Every structure is written in structure tokens, then in C-alpha cells.
Amino acid sequence: MSLSYLLKRCGLTAYTLIVVSLIVFAVTQVLPGDAATMLLGENATPAALAAVRDRLGLDAPIWVQYGHWLGGVLQGDFGTSLRTGQAVGPVMVEALGRSLLLAVLAIGFMLSLALPLGILAAVRRGRAADLLVGFVSYIGVSLPEFVTATLFGLLFADWLQWLPATGYVPMTENPASSLAHLVLPVLTVSVMLIAHVSRMVRSELVDVLHTDYIRAARLKGLSARAVLLKHGLRNALLPTITIVALDVGYLLGGVIVVEEIFALPGIGRQLIVAIEARDLPAIQAGALIMAATYSVVNFAADVAYAWLDKRIQYD
């Protein structure tokens, strides 16, 4: 992996974010609703509405508005919420932190189960363990998040009363209570991820274990454990890195239902609230921050892929 590859990849990430910012700004401009009306109400006079539009720069050409907004974003200023009157940047970043905490915990829990299950299914291919892992995986993929969340809530919060059903406690206030409130959301989003990744690991590892270099490693007298972990698993995990990076994007924006069910104030839930209130600055900030986080995660995944895959030369 060369320095030129890293520079090209950084440039591509920056270009992607610029395109995303254009799309986000353009989409929010065609949404129904008017910022001045949102601030002053339906009964505001035309003169008052005109004064607010002039103060906010809404009468300027669209490219001027975009340039002003992008300039503020580059300085860390995402604008002021039309709903609360507060700066939307800190609110969205704080919400992103909660979603990232959920994502990190879910991915960590997923990998601790998906990798052993995938390895077991590959090593025991065609046997009872493989069939059982496959059966459980298909169930996990088939269950929607709201069904899984409801079942977990009924079992652990209602019947057994081991965990709180909803709510959020900041980690700085009470770490134990905070983790207890995150258990059910983590379990819910992990079910599908475990099912998906375990099948991916199993499929890739089965293919790798039938390659010539694995046969050569066995003929050299290496132990089955060394062949599996050192030569087989490392190459089988390469596609899994991409899958995990895609899962981060899913966890940031695709688990809005889970955040709503468990009342977790993540960035997905904040974005839904902003859309319902037609809060354009909050919508723009939330969408752009999510896109930037997703781009950074994919950049890290590409770098990790390039570092692990010695067979490919990156220019």
C-alpha cells in the first residue's frame, strides 16, 4: 500500500462528501415548508416573513445559499435549529455519539459470535453444526427489527424484568445503568448482523480451505489449527471487512425503528424528528454528518483491506 493510494483515497472521500453536500442541500430546498413560516408561524405578516427571509439569506440565489451553508459547515457551523433555536451541530454530534456507541457495541458483540459460528459451520460443513448455524442464520435474517425488538422487550423487560424496556442514561452519569439500557437495542440489531456475517465467514472459509495454498500448508506438516487460523481465516475475513463497514452505515441510519422502540436518542431518531418538524438546518446537518461518518468508516475499511491483502498492489 503506497502513499499515492492513500492520497487518492482521501481525495475520493473528499469528493464524495462534496457531492453528498450538494445532494443534501438540493433535496432540503425542495421539501415542503418555509423556514420563515416555521419560525414566525402561519399568522405572520408578509412584511415579517420578508424580513426573516432577508435575515436568513433565503432570498439569495440558490448557489449563494449553498456557498454560505458550506462555508459554515467547513468552520463547524451547521446552522441554527428552526424548532429549538439552538445550534444543530452539537446536538447532532451528541446524537451521533449515542448511535456510534450502539454500533460499536453491536459490532463487537456480533463479531464475538459470528466469527466462531462461521468457523464452526465451515469446519463442520454438511454436518449437524453447519445445518444448525444455517438454520439460526436464516431465522435471524428473516426477522424484521421491530419483531425482534418486541420479542426481546417482552422476554427480558416484561416477563423476566431483567432489563429496562426503554430509555437512555448517559454513560457519564451511571455507566452500569447506561449499559443496561443499551443491552436490548444491541441484541436487537445484532441478530441480523450475526446471521449475515456468520454465513459470509462460512462461505468464504469453505472456498479458502479448498485452495491450493491451503493444501500446500497441510502438506508442510502444519497443524490443523495453524492452517485454519493463520492461512485460512485471514484470507476468508477480507470480504467480511467490507461487510462490517457497510453494517456501520446500516447501524447509523437503518435502525431508526430500533431507536424509536427503545427511545434511544440517536442520530437516526433526531433526523426523523427534524424531518417531521421541517427543520431544514437539522436535516442538513444530520444527513451530512451521517454521510461523513459512513465515508470515514469505508475509508478505514479500504485501508485495512489494502494492509491485509498482500496479493494486490495498490497504486
Place of cell 425503528: 257
Quickly list H helices, the chain: 3-30, 35-40, 46-56, 62-74, 88-123, 128-142, 145-152, 175-208, 212-219, 224-226, 234-236, 238-253, 256-261, 267-276, 280-308
Residues in Cβ contact with 4 at an 8 Å cutoff, skipping those fewer than 6 apart: 315
- Smallest CA-to-CA distance from 285 within 134, 77, 126 is with 77
Residues in Cβ contact with 107 at an 8 Å cutoff, skipping those fewer than 6 apart: 193, 244, 247, 248, 251
Round to whole Å and give the CA distance between 205 and 236. 5
Residues in Cβ contact with 131 at an 8 Å cutoff, skipping those fewer than 6 apart: none
Helix (H, G, I), strand (E, B) or coil at 87: strand
Query: Of all helices (H) and strands (E), which one includes residue 22?
Result: helix 3-30
Per-residue pLDDT tens, the chain, 315 aa: give them. 567 777 887 888 888 889 989 988 888 777 666 666 666 666 667 777 677 677 666 777 888 888 888 888 888 888 888 778 788 988 888 888 888 888 888 888 988 998 889 888 888 888 888 899 888 888 888 888 888 888 998 999 889 888 898 888 888 888 888 889 999 999 998 888 888 888 888 888 888 877 777 777 777 777 777 777 777 777 777 777 777 777 776 777 667 788 888 888 888 888 888 887 778 888 888 888 888 888 888 787 777 776 766 555 555
Q: Are 69 and 113 in contact (CB under 8 A)?
A: no
Residues in Cβ contact with 95 at an 8 Å cutoff, skipping those fewer than 6 apart: 265, 266, 267, 269, 270, 286
Round to whole Å and give the CA distance between 35 and 50. 11
Under CATH, which number does the domain 88-308 receive? Answer: 1.10.3720.10
Positions of CATH 1.10.3720.10 in the chain: 88-308
Strand partners, 87: 80
Residues in Cβ contact with 188 at an 8 Å cutoff, skipping those fewer than 6 apart: 145, 148, 149, 152, 258, 261, 262
Q: Are 33 and 274 in contact (CB under 8 A)?
A: no
Round to whole Å and give the CA distance between 81 and 285. 10
Residues in Cβ contact with 279 at an 8 Å cutoff, skipping those fewer than 6 apart: 38, 81, 82, 83, 88, 273
As given in the structure block, the three cell numbers for residue 48 are 415579517
Round to whole Å and give the CA distance between 286 and 264. 16
> Helix/strand/coil (H, E, C) string of 50-80?
HHHHHHHCCCCCHHHHHHHHHHHHHCCCCCE
As given in the structure block, the three cell numbers for residue 298 are 469505508
The torsion defined by the Cα of 27, 32, 37 and 41, in degrees rounded to 10, comes to -130
Side-chain-facing half-sphere of 313: CA atoms under 13 Å: 1
pTM: 0.80
Q: Residue 169: its pLDDT value, please?
A: 86
Helix (H, G, I), strand (E, B) or coil at 237: coil
